[in-house]
Amino acid sequence: MAYIKIRQEKVDKKTVEELKEICPFDAFDYIDAYLSINAACKMCKLCVQKGPEGVCELIEGTPASIDKGAYRGIAVFIETRNDTIHPVGWELIGKARELVADTTNPVHALIIGPSTARAAELALAYGVDKVTAYEHEDYRYHDLERITDIVADFCKRTRLNVLLIGGTPYGRSLAPRIAARLKTGLTADCTKLEMTDEGDLVQIRPAFGGNIMARIVTPAHRPQLATIRHKMFNAPAPATPFGVIDRLSEAAGKQRDRVRLVSTRVRPQVDDIADAETIIALGRAFKKKKDLALVEPLRKALSAELACTRPLIENGWFDARRQIGLSGRTVKPKLLVNIGISGAVQYIEGIRDAECILTVNTDPECALASISHHTIVGDLYDVLPTLNDHLKKNGRVPS
Amino acid sequence: MKILTCIKQVPASSNVDVDPETGVLIRDGKNVKMNPYDLYALETAYLLKARSGAHVHTVTMGPPSAADVLREALMMGSDGATLLSDPRFAGADVLATAYALSQMLRRIGFDLIICGKQTTDGDTAQVGPEIAEFLDVPHVSYVRDVDLRDDKTLRIRTVDDRHEDVLDIKLPCLITVDKDANTPRLPSFKRKRSTRDIRIETWTLDDLSDKEATHYGLRGSPTQVESIFPPERQATGRIHSNLENPGKTLFDILVEQKWLRGD
Ligand SMILES: Cc1cc2nc3c(=O)[nH]c(=O)nc-3n(C[C@H](O)[C@H](O)[C@H](O)COP(=O)(O)OP(=O)(O)OC[C@H]3O[C@@H](n4cnc5c(N)ncnc54)[C@H](O)[C@@H]3O)c2cc1C
Ligand SMILES: Cc1cc2nc3c(=O)[nH]c(=O)nc-3n(C[C@H](O)[C@H](O)[C@H](O)COP(=O)(O)OP(=O)(O)OC[C@H]3O[C@@H](n4cnc5c(N)ncnc54)[C@H](O)[C@@H]3O)c2cc1C
Ligand code: SF4
């Protein structure tokens, strides 16, 4: 496989400086007039492409070759716990269908648990060619090691090409175990997937807190594993099933009993801003608690959830679950309206996935302005009353 | 009890940008710091240490400069630290990182391994569970509370969107700690002095039991980052200033973008 060779004879102070400037990962060490690349290198190849001519050279080794044609199909892991089935699985089935379109590759659903019938029926309706249901009363949700045994065995037995797993807390904990067992690659939180003719999965994912996107491939290992967050892709409309169910009821995998559930509590789903599609967030610019009522007409008109920055939690004006940011919630609404918020880094960390951001602030240079789609420069004590008049005039809120 | 904590050095700011012309990553400053999520992992270890007298040893894999974050951990409460550093680890993805770390952790020996929930650069949250698999020990991710139930078992609380679970996990095992599980302490000046003489050893590939270089670094990595580019959105921003009637402008935008019906 490839590595980067440094032509020491071409190295001088200037080239070292240039390379250090280019390398995003601080991978160059220049010690005793010898330039070397340390363990921080991520093989992004920027030093080769953008660096001073001829200093860094990419030496392509012979890539370990595998017979890519021998691996077929995409399987989607369906996460079930007691009677609940996580809907991200249906979204991934939809994506898998798109990826295998125009090929003869099958889409599988993989279900493991004490009762699988309902999930299996649903998976068929969402359009899989085959459901493999491992059903046994001894299968425990929290026994990731046993689940790994079963999934790994399935992948080997079917010579699977791609395994997609929902990027839920559970999926993000299980998937790496499977990847390490199979000694294969796993790409986290993909936002875009494509398939080449050879069956290589091209995986696009954000890193550095969403500031950059990386295009990642797993060229010489199978299966290729990826996790994808809930609501990244759309679930297909359920249709007349055409697939088959393979139910395996013999106990598979090894029972180890190293993790045991002692007790569990289902958390009430009320008021979760993390899932809200429309959010109005309020900041320190509100002088008094009663001023918060100024946003009520807009909240009603948009059917929005209210959220806030940390100072308002500290004032005791809101339940702590309504705080957005690093020490609060991460939100991903389609529309976020910020009113009187500056955009501290800790706040911005929580709103990266908002699709459309509108901001009202007296300061055109507030940090939020640089990431907002529209910034209205104005005083909220002027903006909101006027807005409310317009909302009322247009019959958007009951007067 | 012997606790090993894994920490990583990451860029101090995740405010990176990609120059759209050249494709070069622009970071503001070249500074590095400890992955902030690892602070909760360290604090979890120190709390257990205070309760049960555990020995806390901290490790990292990275360039020689990563010794700085180990020094910081010593100043916070770790009893010892080891750096794993070798140019042959360059280009490691999660699999190769977790494999190298697992080799090191096994050799040091442990009852409990504690990792952060994720990092702020690679951001995969995968390293912990992969280490557990390589070491053939159970793991639980996103842990909020942990306590020793008896000398063979940990009692753990985890919280996700839907459930709050209490679990018992057998030692030896690995946990990854959720953010806000506790309030991390700061490095202390007193500890800075008292730990000054602790030597941070550096291990290389030659110190690991599997010495086959192709199992590490880029060659041991199934995934390859083909390219890095800026996210599509951004830069569509408009700042509406010096408005006669900003409230009306906001209303118009909401209507124009179909968030509201105008009528
Ligand atoms: C470890 C740590 C974690 C943190 N976590 C979080 C977190 O999770 N979430 C969070 O929110 N914060 C968090 N913070 C706090 C954060 O640093 C900021 O202090 C906070 O976000 C600021 O809130 P703000 O924008 O409402 O207030 P300010 O920064 O005070 O901003 C107020 C804004 O309102 C504008 N303004 C003033 N008057 C008006 C007016 N009449 N009309 C319109 N605009 C006006 C001002 O121009 C200003 O931009 C954290 C801090 C630390 C240290
Ligand atoms: C843009 C980009 C995208 C990437 N995407 C992927 C990908 O999808 N799949 C993939 O396999 N690799 C990927 N990588 C490579 C990956 O970031 C590195 O392999 C890294 O070494 C480990 O991953 P992480 O930073 O995500 O750690 P995480 O898994 O997020 O870290 C979790 C915890 O593991 C521990 N830990 C992690 N790294 C170390 C370390 N070096 N020393 C000690 N403890 C540590 C810490 O406790 C940390 O809190 C990517 C790299 C880049 C630059
Ligand atoms: S390949 Fe990328 S990370 Fe490695 S040395 Fe070159 S610029 Fe730095």
Reduced to 3 states, what is the DSSP secondary structure of residue A372?
Answer: coil
- Kindly report, residue by residue over A258-289, the tens digit of the pLDDT: 999 999 998 776 567 888 889 999 999 999 99
- What is the Å distance from ligand 1's center to B247 Cα? 22
> How many beta carbons lie within 10 A of that of residue A373, not counting itself?
20
**How high is the pLDDT of residue A24?**
80
Distance CA A183, CA A180 (A): 5
What rounded mean pLDDT belongs to chain A? 91
Scan residues 246-275 of A and list those with Cβ closer than 8 Å to B: 256-267, 269, 272, 274
> Of A366, A171, A197, A196, which is closest to residue A188 (Cα–Cα)?
A171
- The model's confidence at residue A40, banded by pLDDT at 50, 70 and 90, is confident
Q: Count of residues for chain B?
A: 263
Helix/strand/coil percentages in chain A, nearest 5: 30, 30, 40
Question: Which atom of ligand 2 sits closest to the CA of residue B92?
Answer: 19
Query: A263 near A293, Cβ under 8 Å?
Result: no
Distance CA B45, CA A348 (A): 30
Say yes or no for a CB contact (<8 Å) between A38 and B123. Answer: no
Query: B176 near B76, Cβ under 8 Å?
Result: no
Query: B26 near A220, Cβ under 8 Å?
Result: no
Low-confidence ranges of chain B (pLDDT < 70): 13-30, 232-236, 261-263
Question: Which atom of ligand 2 sits closest to the CA of residue B228?
Answer: 1
Which amino acid appears at position A230 of this protein?
A: H
Strands of A201-207's sheet in order across = A192-195, A201-207, A212-217, B224-229
Min Cα separation B194/chain A (Å): 30
User: Is residue A204 less than 8 Å (CB to CB) from chain B?
Assistant: no
Distance CA A360, CA B243 (A): 12
* Adjacent-strand bridge partners of B80: B57
Region of residue B97 (left: phi > 0; alpha: psi -120 to 50; beta: else): alpha
Which residue ranges have their beta carbon within 6 Å of ligand 1? A 283-285, 309-311, 323-328, 340-342, 344, 346-347, 360-363, 366, 379-381
Distance CA A64, CA A220 (A): 6
Min Cα separation A243/chain B (Å): 31
Could you tell me which chain A residue has the CA closest to the CA of B240?
A376
- What is the Å distance from ligand 1's center to B160 Cα? 27
**Is the CB of residue B226 below 6 angstroms from any atom belonging to ligand 2?**
no
- Kindly report, residue by residue over A172-198, the tens digit of the pLDDT: 999 999 999 999 999 999 989 999 999
For residues A223-234, average pLDDT? 90
Torsion sign over Cα A257, A259, A264, A268 = negative
Output the six-digit token pair for A273.
């801003």
- The model's confidence at residue A76, banded by pLDDT at 50, 70 and 90, is very high
- Gyration radius of chain A's alpha carbons: 26
User: Is residue A374 less than 8 Å (CB to CB) from chain B?
Assistant: yes
